[in-house]
Amino acid sequence: MKISRIFVLIFGISIPIYILITFLSFDFNLEWLPSDWSYNSQTVWILVNIAAPIFYCISWLYFNFLLGDRFARSLEIMAGSSSSISLHYIVFYGVNALVLLVAFLIPIFTPIIGVLAFSSMVFNLLTMKTSWDDMDGKKQKSVKTMSILAAIPVIFVSIFVVPELILLSIDFSKEFWAIFVDPLFWLVKAYGVSIPIGNFINLYRKGVAEVEGKRYERNNLNIFFIELTITGFLFFLESQGVEFVTFLYYGGMLFWIISLFANLKVGKSREGKLTENPIGLVLNGIFWVAWFIFGKQDLDPSLHWVKLALTIVSAVIFFSYFVIIFIAHPDLEDS
């Protein structure tokens, strides 16, 4: 089984578990309800604590079953495309995207996913034997009506929990970023150094192979292990407050510059066109320029938001790139 499919499987199982833990551990006060709709009433309690998590878990499991293959193939395209962000850049941006997803987006998007999932389930059931295009106008209208009605129970329970989920998401995000923004920013910086070093090693080996007239076969696992080792070492130095680590970051920026120009020079076809788009290196470079200006340890406290902004921007880049592939990539038209 490919790594992308293992990731989708783990993701599909972990989100329902995450939702169950959220509803079990969070106290939905529902103070905004009218007095005669007291949260202590048995009906409201069942809707909030039993019906809502069941609906939402079923919804995420359904979408993972329905779109899991497309999700996995989108990740494979991201990792395998020679004209886009390479595998280690996916890790670089993906770590931050995953953190942002868990800390903020899942609680907010879950009610929307629930409504869409139940409508989709009924629509697919009603069009299982007869396709939508083969139905007459009356039948199509009936299918639309049934699909909308199927979402009403989810909409009803969501009315109770959405205000609380939004507050929960905001509060959890604030607490999470307040605690983890520095370690996460250290991790991003450390991996940001290791990426251009890994790129440089790859380009050096490729150049040597071309000079010797040999066929070059890239060993992604070896390069990734080197990058991981460098990342761990720099993260350790940063967490211990070793000031010398700053000079190593400057070294990482130097490797980034070398890798960028090497990609522009080496990565050309006979027609003079770039065979590889250096978008990953450019995005990594934008991060480093911002760090050079704002991200030093003596950063003024009033500018600490920049650390959070840089981390979130890298996550948004990943999400945007993934969504574009997921929705519009021609290789996924049959999914």
Confidence (pLDDT) at 92 = 60
Closest C-alpha to 95, from 330, 314, 327: 314
Query: Which pLDDT does position 60 carry in this prediction?
Result: 92
Check residue 153 and give its pLDDT.
92
Can you tell me the distance from the alpha carbon of 157 to that of 191, in angstroms, rounded to the nearest whole number?
43
For tokens 């980034």, what's the residue?
256
Name residue, tokens 């089984």.
Answer: 1
Cβ-proximal residues to 334 (8 Å cutoff; 6+ apart), any chain: none
pLDDT at res. 111: 92
pLDDT tens column, 59-99: 999 988 888 888 888 877 776 654 444 555 566 666 667 76
CB-count exposure of residue 30 (10 Å: 0-12, 13-18, 19+)? middle
Segment 170-199, tens digit of pLDDT: 887 777 777 777 777 777 778 777 877 877
Helix axes 87-100, 220-239, angle to 10 degrees: 50
Q: Please give the sequence-ordered ranges of beta strands (E in DSSP) within the chain, or none if there are none.
A: none
Burial readout 271-309 (b: 16 or more C-beta within 10 A, e: otherwise):
eeeeebebebbebbbebbeebeebbeeeeeeeeeebbbe
Question: How far is 142 from 154, CA to CA, in rounded Å?
Answer: 20
Question: Tokens 């040597």 appear where?
Answer: 208
Number of residues that this document lists for the chain:
335
Answer whether 150's CB lies under 8 Å from 126's CB.
no
pTM for this prediction: 0.70
* Residue type for position 257: I
Contact 233, 244 (CB under 8 A): no
How far apart, in whole angstroms, are the C-alpha atoms of residue 292 and residue 92? 18
Whole-number pLDDT of residue 271: 46
CA angle 95, 66, 86 (to 5 degrees): 30
Residues of the chain with pLDDT under 70: 1-3, 30-40, 79-96, 99-100, 103, 216-221, 262-308, 310-311, 314, 333-335
pLDDT attached to residue 155: 93
